[in-house]
A and B are shown apart, each in its own frame.
Chain A
Amino acid sequence: MEKFTTLAASMVAIPTENIDTDQIIPARFLKVTDKNGLGDNLFFDWRYNTDGSPKEDFVLNAQQGKKAGVLVAGDNFGCGSSREHAPWAIMGYGFQAVISTSFADIFRNNSLKLGLLPIIVDKDTHLQLMSLVEEEPDTQITIDLENQTVQLPDGRKVKFPIDNFSKTCILNGVDQLGYLQSHASAVEAYEAGHPDRVNTLAT
């Protein structure tokens, strides 16, 4: 995982609510065995015509989409399938943060483990961000993870929530697996005190 401390970047907005992970990356692109190249297929069916040509009215195909670092999306982003291919594709495209008014649980968990920041803001801030992008597509915001703030162009800083553990891991670029491994003796003690429920190897 790469460190994330601050990010100053422009945004793209997809205001649709309940964007499910099937839209983020359709199932037919899940036949891979690695994480590479998924960004090319991000929002594929919204992004390309049947003949493979880009849909001109889809925001990722506009000039602003190609250089944005932050995706602003409608409420309950990332619902549906647990596929981690969704955050892999979002990061593969070049986004480092997604801003919404809420996220689906599994998508948020997956993102935090990868260092893709899922930022929850209140509805008014969300609307403000949407209209900023609409009025001036090059508008930049600054995300400061240490202080948990998003700074808008007018200087206003909006706090966002994140658990301290995920925050520390992302600030330092540390995989959460290391924490679990560091507690190997606690796992052994747990196993010693709790009989196995099933044995999948038994025939």
Chain B
Amino acid sequence: MSNNGQPKTLFEKIWDEHIVVEEPGNPSAIYIDLHLIHEVTSPQAFTGLREKGLKVRRPDKTVATMDHGIPTTPPDIPITDMMVLNQINRLEQNCRDFGVPLHGLDSPNRGIVHVIGPELGLTQPGMTIVCGDSHTSTHGAFGTLAFGIGTSEVEHVLATQCLLQVKPKTYAVRVEGVLPKGVSAKDIILNLISRIGIGGGTGYVLEYTGSAIQGLSMEERMTVCNMSIEGGARAGMIAPDDTTFEYIATRPHAPQGADWESAVEKWRSLPTDEGATFDREITIDANSLEPMITYGTNPGMGMGITGVIPDPMSVKDVSERQTLDKALNYMDLQPGQSLLGHNVDVVFIGSCTNSRISDLRLAASLLKGQKVADNLRVMVVPGSQQVKNQAEDEGLDKIFKEAGAEWREAGCSMCIAMNGDQLQPGQYAVSTSNRNFEGRQGKGGRTFLASPLTATATAITGKIADVRTML
């Protein structure tokens, strides 16, 4: 509990501890403990520093990698996209010039920025973490305040290690109960977003609590926090506990010896105090959840896999109705239709949402001894070089390849479709990524978001499947 006895939430404790300047009428300047950068949203920020003759204030609190535009083809194949190559060269140059550590293409630690932060032990409870990427919310799984920023803000943090922010409101998301078989962390977050809508969390920081959340592994917690932004919330957080500490303990950047003991003691004081209040609350019954799938063109347009697509005519609000109508038109789907058995062209298993070792193990456990359906392209893209190595040590790559899936190099790949990994116009994909926006996975492509289990079940049957029938 805080000094003056006022009970505080996890968010409030971290926020209060990071205020550098607080003046009436102005946003607060908060201190940033870790700044992650990548090749796509940083070049213009470094240009800004050069133009103003500024340095990176704390290169020791900054770390860079390449993930968004880089190819996932074998490393001996040269990069032919000159614009991607230019961004890679620029990041290398910027990191050299400004002294920022870089996990580049040949680093054993490279990977999707939100996979490598936790992997290296750089993500620790109580910290503030930012990155020029909206899925920075992922790191909230450790009880950190982590959110995406724009390139102007990247420049601000590089120059001052501070960020100007208006204090957000708090939103408790209680998930109570036990997840049924075949239902996973991805289904929790897709269910939440389908309830609150894609803008339902705007202005709020979410805190996920409840027995179902406490029962999740760190990797599953990251999946939940990752998609907070898809509900409009910039950040999502989970109180740190023994599961958190155990995950961090063996990581390269974890505090050592006596420092570890005092860090854990401090981290144990972070969870929301009893009696602290939230501006909003919602409760989800984990026992009643089923695997989720999206049918539309934003992550809020989701339903249980046995559900049917809603009818725009039943939507009262005119603009909401038009938006749903436009989405179904783009997806070429009909109101009242079930998605079970729907044709699929591509299955994508990857992205900062679901590309960690536990995701790959789940997919491999279903695929073992099976073949992917004819005429279906199945891409498995590990989240980092370390995940790739681990998977290969466990023989998961063999399972994927023998089943007829593609085993790729690490990167964002078809989640953002900047690197040539993309859908063709009109194709349908079941994807473990986070966005089903029009053209997100390739111009004219149509995305169904789902869990790794649902994606793998679909890969085997060639049509959208209910994984619960296969377990």
CA–CA, A16 and B322, complex, Å: 7
A13-35 vs B, CB cutoff 8 Å, 1 = contact: the mask equals 00111101011001110111111
CA–CA, A104 and B47, complex, Å: 26
A125 within 8 A of B: no
Mark the stretch among A62-70, A108-116, A146-154 that contacts chain B.
Answer: A108-116
Chain B residue with the shortest CB-CB distance to A83? B41
* Contacting pair B418 A31 (CB below 8 A): yes
CB-CB under 8 A from B122, the residues of chain A are 198, 200
CB-CB under 8 A from B7, the residues of chain A are none
CB-CB under 8 A from A138, the residues of chain B are none
* Contacting pair A17 B232 (CB below 8 A): no
- Contact-residue bracket for chain B: 35 or more
Q: Which of A163, A183, A196 contacts B60 (CB 8 A)?
A: A196
A-B contact list, 28 entries, CB within 8 Å: A17-B319, A18-B198, A20-B435, A20-B437, A26-B439, A27-B417, A33-B44, A34-B44, A45-B443, A50-B425, A75-B199, A76-B199, A80-B134, A81-B133, A82-B148, A83-B41, A105-B202, A109-B150, A110-B150, A165-B164, A180-B29, A180-B160, A187-B29, A187-B160, A187-B162, A196-B61, A198-B34, A201-B60
* Contacting pair A105 B150 (CB below 8 A): no
- Distance in Å: Cβ of A46 to nearest Cβ of chain B: 8
* Contacting pair B26 A165 (CB below 8 A): yes
A residues with a Cβ closer than 8 A to B are 15-18, 20, 22-23, 26-28, 30-35, 45, 50, 74-76, 79-84, 87, 102, 104-106, 109-110, 113-114, 163-165, 176-177, 179-181, 183-184, 186-187, 190-191, 194, 196-202
B241 within 8 A of A: no
* Contacting pair A177 B34 (CB below 8 A): no
* Contacting pair B202 A22 (CB below 8 A): no
Q: Which of B34, B41, B203, B443 contacts A105 (CB 8 A)?
A: B203
CA–CA, A32 and B83, complex, Å: 7
* Contacting pair B153 A113 (CB below 8 A): yes
B residues with a Cβ closer than 8 A to A are 17, 20-21, 25-27, 29, 31, 33-34, 40-41, 43-44, 47, 52, 57, 59-63, 68-69, 81, 83-84, 86-87, 90, 101, 121-122, 124, 126-127, 132-134, 148-153, 155-156, 159-162, 164, 166, 168, 198-199, 202-203, 229-230, 232, 234, 253, 298, 300, 319-320, 322-323, 326, 416-418, 425, 435, 437-440, 443
Chief secondary structure at chain A's binding surface = loop
Assuming the contacts A82-B133, A82-B149, A198-B61, asked whether A74 and B323 have C-beta atoms less than 8 A apart, the reply is: yes
